[in-house]
Amino acid sequence: MPSGRSSSFRVAVVGASTLRGKELVQVLEDRNFPSSDIVLLDAGVPAGTLTEAAGEPTFIRALDEESFEGARVAFFAGTAQEAEQNWSAAERSGAIVIDLTGALGVPGHSSHATPWIPSLASALPPMAVSPAATAYVSPSAPVIVTCTVAAALRTFSPQRISLLLFPPVSEREQGGVEELESQTSALLSFREIGKSVFDAQVAFNLLSQYGPAAKPTLAEMRAAIARDVAGYLARRVLVPAIQLVQAPVFYGYAFAAYAEFGAPLAPEQLHAASTNLGIRVAAEDEDSPSNASVAGEGEIHIARIEADPNVASGVWIWGAADGLRLAATNAVRIAEEMVAKPN
């Protein structure tokens, strides 16, 4: 993390029992975030549930008005409802609020939270942010991926950019993981499959839409991603077209991007621009990244960029990222930037 500040302080994590919350706690530990105490909060599990933080046993605490007392940073990694109902209490306590649920980034929300991807600061013109801002939105993994690809290509003035995103079932939290597991087992055993999360067969399948009972729908997820991408990139860089296809994988966000320019470009130029933004570009003798190969990595990984065989000025980019780790790393980087600032 940024140097220049050695003091430690209390950190609160709301939604600590979720996949996103657990990953966030792990990233705080891996990056040696200077927390003297990590308070784990969750309305979805009984208070007193034993868990672990920073390698030490600890307990899940109840979520109430006093939960944020003494906290310098409050992460919201659970449900949107938890963030909506409790962010103001965290702010009143003096904590820097960092929302990973997307709830505070919805247009018209009273929090005035600022979306932030610190790794793109060198590639995009700065956004207008109030010096007194204390609430931030750490965008979701697909938003970070899409904005990063667009920012990497910005210097070359692309005429169009399109991304096809393949979300894993873990985007629907533990319920999605368990449903893919149970569907896979049932299909291999010739038994009827459960569909309580997706209302459709996701195992051994690709989906352009869910069943009618699944909420949010895949179309709603796509619309939210497109809205957040447009909001973050607006008037700073070309906004990509976006499509989602549900993939039958547990973890890891894969994507295929297409970009077209006014004239052909050497892939090496695009590789250099991508590397400058922290994207890991595969070496010529390395395999292309996959959902499995990026597990535990906090960066976006891409294969060697290839020219389109029919469009001379078009290129294809294949990539993958550990969605949970990427989103959690971005949130912790926001906290690192904020606590490093002088009071």
Query: Could you give the CA distance from residue 221 to residue 117 in angstroms, rounded to a whole number?
Result: 20
Query: Could you give the CA distance from residue 178 to residue 290 in angstroms, rounded to a whole number?
Result: 21
Looking at residue 288, its amino acid is S
Average pLDDT score over residue span 314-328: 97
61 vs 139, more confident = 139
pLDDT of residue 316: 97
Domains of the chain, first to last:
9-139+328-339 (3.40.50.720), 144-323 (3.30.360.10)
Query: Could you give the CA distance from residue 105 to residue 195 in angstroms, rounded to a whole number?
Result: 30
65 vs 138, more confident = 138
> Cβ of 109: how many Cβ atoms within 10 Å?
16
Average pLDDT score over residue span 286-305: 96
Q: Is the pLDDT of residue 110 over 80?
A: no
Q: Are 104 and 87 in contact (CB under 8 A)?
A: yes
- pLDDT tens digits for range 128-184: 665 566 899 999 999 999 999 999 999 999 999 999 999 999 999 999 999 999 999
DSSP 159: S
pLDDT of residue 1: 43
- pLDDT tens digits for range 187-230: 999 999 999 999 999 999 999 999 999 999 999 999 999 999 99
Would you place residue 342 in the very low, low, confident or very high pLDDT band (cuts 50, 70, 90)?
Answer: low
β-pairing verdict for 160-166 and 253-260: antiparallel
**pTM for the predicted model, two decimal places:** 0.92
Average pLDDT score over residue span 232-242: 93
Mean pLDDT (the chain) is 89
